[in-house]
Structure 1
Amino acid sequence: MKLSAGVTHYELRGDSGAKTVVLIHGNAAPYITWNQTVGPLCEAGFRVLRYDLFGHGFSDRPELKRYDRHFYNVQLTELLNRLGIAEPVRVVGTSQGGSIAACFAAERPGAVTRLALLAPFFDQLPGQEGAAYRLLVRPIVGELVLQMMSDRKLADLSDALVSPETRASLEREVIEQFRYRGKRRAILANLRGDALHDATSCYRSIAAQGIPVLLTYGAQDQKIPRASMSRLRELVPGIEYHEIEGAGHLAHYEFPDRVSPLLIRFLEG
Structure 2
Amino acid sequence: LYGRGYSDRPRTRQDAQFFHRQLRELLDHVGVGDDITLIGYSMGGAIATSFAAEHPGRIQQLVLLAPAGMRVPAGRMINIIRSSPLLGDWLMHAVYPRQFRKGVEAERDLPSSVPDIGKLQTAELDSRGFIRSVLSSLRGILAADQREAHTRIAQQGLPVLAVWGRDDDVIPLSCVGTLAEWNRSAVQEVIPGAGHGLPYTHTNEVLRILRSELIALAGR
What's the TM-score once normalised by structure 1's chain length? 0.71
Aligned to 1:237: 184
CA distance in 1, matches of 2:142, 2:79: 16
Find the aligned partners of 1:231 and 1:220 in 2 and give their Cα distance.
Answer: 17
- Find the partner of 1:183 among 130, 142, 166: 130
Q: Given the superposition, is the C-alpha separation of residues 102 and 147 from structure 1 closer, same or farther in structure 2, using an over 3 Å criterion? A: closer
Out of 99-108 and 130-139, give the one that drifted further: 130-139
Counterpart Cα distance in 1 of 2:67 and 2:96: 27
Contact 1:220-1:246 at 8 Å conserved across structures: yes
- Measure how far apart 1:267 and its partner are: 3.0
Q: Is the 8 A contact 1:216 1:241 kept in 2?
A: yes
- Aligned partners of 1:146 and 1:196: how far apart in 2? 15
Opposite residue 136 of structure 1, the aligned amino acid is I
CA distance in 2, matches of 1:134, 1:199: 17
1:72-91 aligned at under 5 Å gives the runs 72-91=19-38
Residue 58 of structure 1 aligns with which residue?
A: 6
Structure 1 window deviating more from structure 2 (250-259 vs 162-171): it is 162-171
1:211, 1:142 → 2: CA distance?
38
Which of 49, 72, 87 lines up with 1:141 in the alignment?
Answer: 87
Q: Percent identity?
A: 32
Compare the two structures and name the one with the higher strand fraction. 1
In the TM superposition, residue 152 of structure 1 has moved relative to its aligned partner by 5.8
Residue type of the alignment partner of 1:62 = P
Alpha-carbon distance, 1:104 to partner = 0.4
Change beyond 3 A, Cα 1:208–1:161? farther
Q: CA–CA distance in 2 between the matches of 1:186 and 1:58?
A: 13
Name structure 1 gaps, 5 residues minimum: 1-52
Deviations along 1:216-245, whole A, 9 cap, x unmatched? Answer: 111111111322220211321222121111
Separation (CA, whole Å) in 2 of partners of 1:160 and 1:202: 32
Residue 68 of structure 2 corresponds to residue 117 of structure 1: no
Amino acid at match of 2:91: V
Aligned to 1:206: 153
Q: Which residue of 2 aligns with 1:29?
A: none
SS at match of 1:226: coil
Contact kept in structure 1, 2:104 and 2:122, CA below 8 Å: no
Measured in 2, the distance between the counterparts of 1:242 and 1:125 equals 19
**Regions of 4+ moved over 6 Å:** none
* Aligned partner of residue 157 in structure 1, secondary structure: helix
Q: 2:20 and 2:202 mapped to 1: Cα distance? A: 28
Question: Is the CA contact (8 Å cut-off) linking 1:159 and 1:223 kept in structure 2?
Answer: no
Unaligned runs of 5+ in 2: none
Structure with the higher helix share, 1 or 2 = 2
**d(CA) in 1 for partners of 2:125 and 2:151?**
36
Q: Over residues 120-154 of structure 1, what are the superposed CA-to-partner deviations in whole Å (9 max), with x where a residue is unaligned? A: 1233235x1x3311232211112222333474643
Contact 2:180–2:186 (8 Å) recurs in 1 = yes
TM-score by length of 2: 0.86
Shift of 1:164: 5.0
Equivalenced residue count is 214
Q: Is 1:67 the equivalent of 2:14?
A: yes
Within 2, Cα distance between the matches of 1:165 and 1:263?
A: 20
SS for the counterpart of 1:76 is helix
